[in-house]
Amino acid sequence: MTDAERRAEPLLSLRTWLDRVAETGELGHVSGAHWDLELGAIAELSYRRPRPKALLFDEIPGYDKGLRVLTGSTGSSRRLGHTLRLADGPADLSGMDDAALVAALRGKPSQWAARAADFPVLEVNDAPLLENTVEGPDVDLTAFPVPRWHGLDGGRFIGTGCFVVTSDPETGAVNGGCYRMQIQNDGRTATINAVPGKHGAQNIARWFEREGRAPVTVSFGHDPVLLVTGGTEVPAGISELDYTGAILGERVPVLRGTATGLPIPAGSEFALEGWLRQDLACDEGPFGEWTGYYSASRRPVPALDIARVHFRNDCIQLGAPPGKPPHDYSYMRTAMKSAMIQDELVRAGVQGINAAWAHEAGGGRLFVVVSLTQRYAGHARQVAHLTAQGPAAAYMNRYAVVVDDDIDPSNLEEVVWAMSTRTDPARDIDVIDRTWGSKLDPMLEEGAPPFNSRAVIDACRPFERLAGFPEVSQSDPAFLRSVAEKWCDALS
């Protein structure tokens, strides 16, 4: 991209984001992969690699060159750091590893929430998004290379990395969220599956009560910061567009949807607006979810009466398919949750918290580890219970583990070693029943209410035995470092 091209791009343009990521060497290109399973499989193979790149798919069979799909956008510390504007430029990102990312994120989510009101959206009249418009009866979502991601998926899911805008019918307050969307009726419509309780689902339910339909706009291609803000629990009452403005330090430009009056990010590649209608329900799913399972069965879900689809020439979809972790956005969830859980514990006034890690293997929710420096009897158990039930981790947590400060909570080998050697299971595992679960839980019996239970595991050395607990049999770290230097040839 030339400087002039970069300047012409609206804020939240995915093209500007890609241009910067390409500079860091973290963007791969794939030509010719089929939208039906092949593209999803290539993305999945990539997530399993140690340092997965973002992948931009082009020349998708059956579609014109230029109609592209991006996956893996937030799958590395450097890309996520760039996306959340935690660094000034590529040079600043080079040292950003997992720990540095979470350290840079600490305190940010609450600061962004506090500053969101200073960044109301900025209405504009024009954007590259308006290069092409298709009206209701002519809409065909299969005109875009929408993937079928996994073999047992019930169809093609256009909404994975999407940003769905809804509003409160009484106050007009706007919400942005990320919910799965399946193409239905040969491309004429799509279902939106927001889980009850999510702010977007609450808005939709209120509109349904009043009018039997709910206005909605959806962006399918944008700077992945909207995937993070739409897909993360932003406090109720704060618009994710204003929150995004606080991250960027600039007001987000939006077009006003003429059929719905709702905002559409002007930086979008591809967006629609319409009315979600109860009476247009279509059978939806199954869809491989972030737990790694096809948990919920196929069932009717409200579908859209699409008024209009807008798209740029050569538009790019942002894909973010879940699945058995590591999946497309599990790293993002891990980093965000790890910072938010640590922030919450510190804000609660608990001392001695060193680090938290919400493991990717548990989709960033199911298995959370916190390391602490024990200061008093009961301290470890207090931290463990607060972690398991604090708002940042309460939804669908299954295991909350606390470890001493010599254990790196992000290192599963160390965590399992601590659990294996510093617990007496009869005494150190508390089980809390009837906690906040989900219909997505593969352990939930069909038709049962979505409670779960959770184990709180105190894998810290017993406080009363801290002084006399057996010493760890390993060399002094400083001595190890000096030996490693002296014997580097032998060790290489």
Q: How far is the CB of 270 from ligand FMN (least distance, A)?
A: 16
Q: How far is the CB of 133 from ligand FMN (least distance, A)?
A: 26
d(CA 228, CA 336) in angstroms, rounded, equals 9
Q: How far is the CB of 446 from ligand FMN (least distance, A)?
A: 19
| Residue with smaller CB distance to ligand FMN, 47 or 329 | 329
Describe the chain by its helix, strand, coil percentages, rounded to 5. Answer: 35, 25, 40
Residues 6+ apart with CB under 8 A from 54: 18, 21, 26, 27, 28, 70, 71, 72, 73, 75, 79
368 near 353, Cβ under 8 Å?
no
| Residue with smaller CB distance to ligand FMN, 182 or 374 | 182
| Residue with smaller CB distance to ligand FMN, 128 or 231 | 231
Per DSSP, the three-state class of 218 is strand
With CB atoms as reference, the residue minimizing the distance to ligand FMN is 231
| Residue with smaller CB distance to ligand FMN, 276 or 407 | 276
Q: How far is the CB of 264 from ligand FMN (least distance, A)?
A: 17
d(CA 469, CA 459) in angstroms, rounded, equals 13
Cα 91 to its chain centre, rounded Å, is 25
What are the DSSP E strand ranges found in 340-479? Answer: 353-358, 367-372, 399-404, 429-436, 451-458
Q: How far is the CB of 126 from ligand FMN (least distance, A)?
A: 28
d(CA 150, CA 37) in angstroms, rounded, equals 6
Q: How far is the CB of 312 from ligand FMN (least distance, A)?
A: 22
d(CA 291, CA 452) in angstroms, rounded, equals 14
Contact positions vs ligand FMN (CB under 6 A): 160-161, 175, 177-180, 193-195, 198-200, 227, 230-233, 320, 329
d(CA 446, CA 297) in angstroms, rounded, equals 9
| Residue with smaller CB distance to ligand FMN, 193 or 452 | 193
| Residue with smaller CB distance to ligand FMN, 178 or 262 | 178
| Residue with smaller CB distance to ligand FMN, 208 or 417 | 208
431 exposure class (CB count in 10 Å sphere: 0-12, 13-18, 19+) = exposed
| Residue with smaller CB distance to ligand FMN, 67 or 181 | 181
d(CA 189, CA 280) in angstroms, rounded, equals 9
| Residue with smaller CB distance to ligand FMN, 77 or 193 | 193
Q: How far is the CB of 170 from ligand FMN (least distance, A)?
A: 17
Q: How far is the CB of 195 from ligand FMN (least distance, A)?
A: 3
Q: How far is the CB of 396 from ligand FMN (least distance, A)?
A: 10
Q: How far is the CB of 487 from ligand FMN (least distance, A)?
A: 46
DSSP 21: H
Phi, psi of 106 (to 5 degrees): -55, 130
d(CA 199, CA 400) in angstroms, rounded, equals 26
| Residue with smaller CB distance to ligand FMN, 76 or 232 | 232
Report the greatest alpha carbon distance in the chain: 76
In the chain, what is the straight-line distance between the N-terminal and C-terminal CA atoms, in Å?
41
